[in-house]
Structure 1
């Protein structure tokens, strides 16, 4: 039985620019053949058991030849597997996707093309350069600069391109920029016409040089720009300073480490990227459901007898409803007369997603806040269910029992330390900020470090904590906490980070 191959455009580098269709294909893939550029941050979307084949190309090095790539797509597709060929930009814009499609068609393997956003328009847009603009340019031409404009056999007619009105966008031309510039000027483009080079477009590493066509090669050398880059020639390049938007992002130039579990990192990572930060995802923990216990079975059997049910995290909500679902039950099993307490708005939102409205959300999103919110509630003899993580702080249960409540504490999951890539650890130590969303992330992160790496933290990344309990753990581990969220949520954490950046020295 034949499989199916998706030729997917990964976009220009910003992972948020991947299309919905591309994401769905990656999430279902059994084999992924990926390029070097524009794909790195998309790898976590692949299933954990997917076979990943690096087909990346870099100057002077090629992991797989085009013939080898074609053969791999045919081999895995013909073997009945779901295959994704993940290509930077768009598969059919200087991506050789047409050749891959021809190989698949010849072999009788079914395929589909998922277009991607090409860097030809995305990199200029992120640099404040519209490739067309009313009254300035009504057309644009995209050309590869990979050919040598001085050789006799090249296909690109630079004289003709110099005479074409509108914007000229040159991909893969940085290695021959001086020769290309000279050829365009010789063909009639004015040497004083605005031109720009955008390196690592759409990513936090993006750099931009705006000059004239005649001066651009020298300016690029002075600024140290190299490949990969997009070159734009035409009056629209002169609009960059007025239209630029990416450089105004408050976290531009900052690298922020996210230590949340991989399954939960996206919310924080997405917020940080939207603010211009480069994000290093270093999941220090993994959320692992605990096997069923007699205590859990007993609690769920007697669920309708509880007068108070307390959920202390989003993970606790998910684990509780997973346990109910495993027993063929759902939100209707919760007693209508019970008071349901959610430790914070995120936990309340997750409860609502399961069809349960929280009756009480304390003002402070910690165990002590729950106790304060219940200060006027009679608890003497009230059956209470506290569903939470293994190893949680005892203050909540002790406080409830001190008020004579009959408390059943049920452990539903645990935070397990996650092994880390040494390169990711090194990147974290070189970052501008470390973020911690729970005490478990602090302890697990510090457990990844040797004595020398712990010493490197002194005077290194600034530490931002989600709340006082996490901050106390960080200090106990020898860290200095530079900022703490006033509201103990992900938006609160981001707000604390922004405040710390605003108060610190300008970004490098």
Structure 2
């Protein structure tokens, strides 16, 4: 495992936590956050959603920022979340944030993505009521697959969009200069948007960057990377530190 020299691209606070976990395993990493989280101001429509929180049979957080910012909104309007409600998280790390708040949370056990959550029996049970409503906590312009599938099942779905992800401002060639200076031999992205930012930041140097092993959290992001020309894509079956460590252990640099 120690042969890996990994570029981390998550938001800065998440890079720091993962770098520490990797260092404990003797894995070298460097951080170049390609996502920055910008909280969105609350709209009157969103305030209404929170005041009506008790009408949702299930609340789903699709990311760690969605969980953190969503709980801040809950705190603003509710002494405690409605007791009849079931909470879900797409990934284990997101679930941990909700559990720290005191919620009982269900997460996919194997595939940490929307498809894994849709197959969870607890979600099926939570929605087995007349006229079920679901609230999805997410960032601006997230994936539609989860809501679309639920709607085909007769579920009414609302979004609470809490933040946007932006590419931090870096000097030209910052990506390739970091890879070269620190002799990095792999890159990790945590979402489709972080891959899009990686591809954009590489610019004319993408043919070089595309040769590096790329660790991704899901089959969807893997397909996005392959279509763009990434030559060795490794799917981690989730974005958690444990999933990344498992993938690093199973694969070696060429």
Q: Same fold (TM over 0.5)?
A: yes
Query: What residue number does 1:362 align with?
Result: 108
Shift of residue 428, structure 1, vs aligned partner? 2.3
Query: C-alpha separation between the residues in 2 aligned to 1:336 and 1:256?
Result: 43
Query: What residue number does 1:294 align with?
Result: 44
Query: What residue number does 1:445 align with?
Result: 198
* Gaps in structure 2 of 5+ consecutive residues: none
Shift of residue 355, structure 1, vs aligned partner? 1.8
Q: Tell me, yes or no, if structure 1 residue 310 matches structure 2 residue 60.
A: yes
Residues 113 and 238, structure 2, Cα contact 8 Å, conserved in 1? no
Query: What residue number does 2:209 align with?
Result: 457
TM-aligned CA distance change 1:431 to 1:301, over 3 Å: same
Instruction: Give the CA RMSD over aligned residues.
Output: 2.0
Residues 190 and 216, structure 2, Cα contact 8 Å, conserved in 1? yes
SS of structure 1 residue aligned to 2:19 = helix
TM-aligned CA distance change 1:314 to 1:329, over 3 Å: same
Residues 379 and 405, structure 1, Cα contact 8 Å, conserved in 2? no
Shift of residue 431, structure 1, vs aligned partner? 1.6
Residues 210 and 229, structure 2, Cα contact 8 Å, conserved in 1? no
TM-score, structure 2 normalization: 0.88
Shift of residue 367, structure 1, vs aligned partner? 1.0
Query: What residue number does 2:23 align with?
Result: 273
Question: Which of 90, 94, 100 is matched with 1:353 structurally?
Answer: 100
Query: C-alpha separation between the residues in 1 aligned to 2:174 and 2:145?
Result: 38
State how 1:169-318 maps to structure 2 within 5 Å: 250-252=1-3, 254-318=4-68
Query: C-alpha separation between the residues in 2 aligned to 1:380 and 1:370?
Result: 21
Query: What residue number does 1:136 align with?
Result: none
Q: Tell me, yes or no, if structure 1 residue 469 matches structure 2 residue 209.
A: no
SS of structure 2 residue aligned to 1:385 = strand
Q: Tell me, yes or no, if structure 1 residue 408 matches structure 2 residue 161.
A: no
SS of structure 1 residue aligned to 2:165 = strand
Question: Which of 74, 77, 86 is matched with 1:339 structurally?
Answer: 86
- Which has the larger share of helix? 2
Query: C-alpha separation between the residues in 2 aligned to 1:458 and 1:315?
Result: 28
TM-aligned CA distance change 1:402 to 1:496, over 3 Å: same
TM-score, structure 1 normalization: 0.46
Query: C-alpha separation between the residues in 2 aligned to 1:479 and 1:295?
Result: 41
**Taking CA–CA contacts closer than 8 Å with sequence separation of 6 or more, which of the two structures ends up with the larger relative contact order?**
2
Shift of residue 349, structure 1, vs aligned partner? 0.9
Larger Rg: 1
Query: C-alpha separation between the residues in 2 aligned to 1:487 and 1:328?
Result: 32
Query: C-alpha separation between the residues in 2 aligned to 1:336 and 1:482?
Result: 43
* Gaps in structure 1 of 5+ consecutive residues: 1-249
Query: C-alpha separation between the residues in 2 aligned to 1:423 and 1:313?
Result: 27
Query: C-alpha separation between the residues in 2 aligned to 1:379 and 1:401?
Result: 14
Shift of residue 419, structure 1, vs aligned partner? 2.0
Query: C-alpha separation between the residues in 1 aligned to 2:40 and 2:247?
Result: 33
